[in-house]
Amino acid sequence: MKQQTFGIIGGGMLGMTLAFRLSQKGYKVTLFDAAPNFGGLASAWNIDGITWDKFYHVILLSDTYTRNLLKDLNLENEMRWVETKTGFYTEGKLYSMSNTFEFLKFPPLNILDKLRLGGTIFYTSKLKNWKRLERITVEKFLKRLSGKNTFEKIWLPLLRAKLGDTYKNTSAAFIWATIQRMYSARKSGLKKEMFGYLPGGYARILDVFSTRLKAENIELKSGFKAKSIYRDDDQVNIEFTDGSNYKFDNIINTIPSSFIPGMVPDLSDEEIQKHSDIEYLGVICPNVILKKAISPYYVTNITDSGVPFTGVIEMTALVDKRDFSDKHLIYLPKYLQSNDPYFEKTDKEISDMFLDYLLKMYPHLHLNDIEHVEIARARNVFALNKLGYSNSLPPVESSVKGLYLLNSAHITNGTLNINETIQLAENKLSAILSGINGAE
Ligand SMILES: Cc1cc2nc3c(=O)[nH]c(=O)nc-3n(C[C@H](O)[C@H](O)[C@H](O)COP(=O)(O)OP(=O)(O)OC[C@H]3O[C@@H](n4cnc5c(N)ncnc54)[C@H](O)[C@@H]3O)c2cc1C
């Protein structure tokens, strides 16, 4: 029997993993991406002589899917594991929150609030039935467990930082998934927070991964922006913006759902509605190169309102600064809805506003310590986990025969990360293939 052909649209970690696993099973695969390079949100750039991820990434000891992929690429043995610390910026001061003792000293909460906060985290980490949590808002869930004071002083600023005002429609499954990931980071390492990275960052992973995909005879086509998808006779077609057209027995489209209705007009009304209903959050993420360190913390959570960014990620608290020619790299992410007018601000406007606040937060940092700033932006980063989310998702197997629509919105009980992305690719691929082979 003739082997089936697959076209994959979107060469982020999801599309690359699907392509890799399909070719290992003997299928003929072509992978397309609109950008000049593969990698999507995981891709890197060079700023001030340093090549590193545009958006910060860590790997956890518990990220078994990522680590297995790295094993397949012969990279896992080079991983570096580091014990990291977490900071909190609250009421104009920076606090360490890296162990129980520091938590007990944390000033904004009294002892009862702290017990309730600790109890909330512990209780949520033990919950198994995340689907039930999709029926209640995260606000109601956290207020009930932690009390109003802790909710307002800790949870609310953290939810706003990650979700903006959309926290109001977000289900408690969101905080469940976040706490599960936080717990698994600590579980494996004597309750310490162990984070990992590969020297060279995702640039290196993507380079080795792309070379491996080529070696597997996968056709890699970058600079191909898909415009429309339709079926004729017995194959599915992709038409690209440059006018070219490719046909396959099957297509897996991994790009965000917001683009699907305009791209696949032959979907049913219900599918179009379901893709349109998925709301995305995006991120504006200045990368800042500094002459000196600002803190010992990999992540600093911010609970003060008025700070334009929603956290500080100090990459060089994790990555050896010798890998950055002794310079320091920090990220100042701000999460917002994908249609927020903030995305229209110029690089200079964002940079002025963010750096002004950074200098206020860290008085030992001076303007001449800042060597370079580059602003990364992405509008469609993760789908909002609204009430009843998992039941409202569009099916992966679409009503257009041979067309599968699979993207990160299909991660229902996890946070957005590469481990979940690889797991999604592998699990859904098994289902897709058993559907195809069963139907043959
Ligand atoms: C700020 C930030 C921090 C993060 N931190 C971490 C972390 O610490 N650890 C971790 O594991 N993960 C982290 N992640 C998540 C991780 O980056 C994502 O889970 C992963 O990269 C998503 O991969 P994807 O393939 O699903 O999507 P994407 O990477 O978005 O890939 C989609 C691809 O589709 C292409 N495309 C779009 N439209 C078209 C079209 N019309 N035609 C052809 N191609 C098209 C795009 O160019 C892109 O390459 C972070 C992400 C962000 C933004």
Q: Is the CB of 31 under 6 A from ligand 1?
A: no
Ligand 1 atom nearest to 333, measured from its CA: 1
Q: 225 in ligand 1 pocket by Cβ < 6 Å?
A: yes
Instruction: Check if 55 has its Cβ closer than 6 Å to any atom of ligand 1.
Output: yes
Contact 417 CB / ligand 1 (< 6 Å) = yes
Nearest CA to ligand 1 atom 5: 57
Q: Give, for ligand 1, the residue of 60, 263, 407, 418 to mutate: max count of ligand atoms closer than 8 Å to Cβ.
A: 418
Question: Sign of dihedral through CA atoms 346, 349, 352, 357?
Answer: negative
pLDDT bucket at 110, cuts 50 / 70 / 90: confident
C-alpha dist (Å) from residue 265 to 84, 149, 232: 48, 49, 14
Q: To test ligand 1's pocket by mutation, which of 64, 255, 312, 423 has the most ligand atoms within 8 angstroms of CB?
A: 255
- Regarding the beta carbon of 318 and ligand 1, being less than 6 Å apart is answered no
Q: Does residue 53 surpass a pLDDT of 90?
A: yes
**Averaged pLDDT for residues 29-55:** 97
pLDDT of 154 higher than 80:
yes
pLDDT at 191: 59
66-70, 108-112, 119-123: range with highest mean pLDDT: 66-70
Which amino acid belongs to residue 236? V
In this predicted structure, the answer to whether residue 439 has a pLDDT above a threshold of 60 is: no
Q: Which atom, in ligand 1's list, is nearest to the CA of 10? A: 34
Determine whether the shortest distance from the Cβ of 14 to ligand 1 is under 6 A: yes
> Phi and psi (nearest 5°) for 215?
-65, -25
- C-alpha of residue 256 to centroid of ligand 1, in Å: 9
Whose Cα sits closest to atom 10 in ligand 1?
Answer: 417
User: Mean pLDDT throughout 285-303?
Assistant: 95
What pLDDT score was predicted for residue 438?
Answer: 76
* 82 within ligand 1 shell (Cβ under 6 A): no
pLDDT at 261: 96
Say if residue 108's pLDDT is above 70: yes
Q: In the predicted model, what is the mean pLDDT of residues 150-167?
A: 86
pLDDT score at 440: 44
Binding site membership of 282 for ligand 1 (Cβ less than 6 Å): no
Could you tell me which residues are beta bridge partners of residue 386? Answer: 170
Question: How much is the mean pLDDT over the chain?
Answer: 92
170 contact partners, CB below 8 Å, separation of at least 6: 137, 138, 159, 163, 384, 385, 386
* Residue 109: pLDDT band with limits 50, 70, 90: confident
Q: Separation of 41 CA from ligand 1 center, angstroms?
A: 3
Terminal C-alpha separation, the chain: 10
Q: For residue 185, is pLDDT > 70?
A: no
Find out whether 354 and 332 touch, Cβ atoms under 8 Å: yes
CB of 35 closer than 6 A to ligand 1? yes
Give the chain's length: 440
Tell how far the Cα of 44 is from the centroid of ligand 1, in angstroms.
12
- Residue that wins the pLDDT comparison between 403 and 193: 403
Q: Which of 101, 92, 162 is nearest to 381 (CA)?
A: 162
Phi, psi of 292 (to 5 degrees): -140, 165
More confident residue, 333 or 163: 333
Does the beta carbon of 41 sit less than 6 angstroms from any atom of ligand 1? yes
What is the SS3 assignment for the chain? CCCCEEEEECCEHHHHHHHHHHHHCCCEEEEEECCCCCEHHHCEEEECCEEEECCCCCEECCCHHHHHHHHHCCCHHHCEEEECEEEEEECCEEEECCCHHHHHHCCCCCHHHHHHHHHHHHHHHHCCCHHHHCCCEHHHHHHHHHCHHHHHHHHHHHHHHHHHHHHHHEECHHHHHHHHHHHHHHHCCCCCCEEEECCCHHHHHHHHHHHHHHHCCCEEEECCCEEEEEEECCEEEEEECCCCEEEECEEEECCCHHHHHHHCCCCCHHHHHHHHHCCEEEEEEEEEEECCCCCCEEEEEECCCCCCCCEEEEHHHCCCHHHHCCCEEEECCEEEECCCHHHHCCHHHHHHHHHHHHHHHCCCCCHHHEEEEEEEEEEEEEECCECCHHHHCCCCECCCCCEEECCHHHCCCCCCCHHHHHHHHHHHHHHHHHHHHHHC
CA of 408, closest atom in ligand 1: 26
Q: Which of 187-191, 353-357, 390-394, 425-429 has the lowest mean pLDDT?
A: 187-191
Q: Is it the case that residue 98 has pLDDT exceeding 90?
A: no
Task: Give tens-digit pLDDT for 374-415.
Answer: 999 999 999 999 999 999 999 999 999 999 999 999 999 878
Summarised one tens digit per residue, pLDDT across range 201-210 is 999 999 999 9
pLDDT of residue 363: 94
Mean pLDDT calculated for residue range 1-11: 89
Cβ-based neighbour number of residue 39 at 10 Å: 23
Instruction: Give the Å distance between the CA of 431 and the centre of ligand 1.
Output: 22
pLDDT recorded at residue 157 = 83
Number of the ligand 1 atom closest to the C-alpha atom of 14: 25
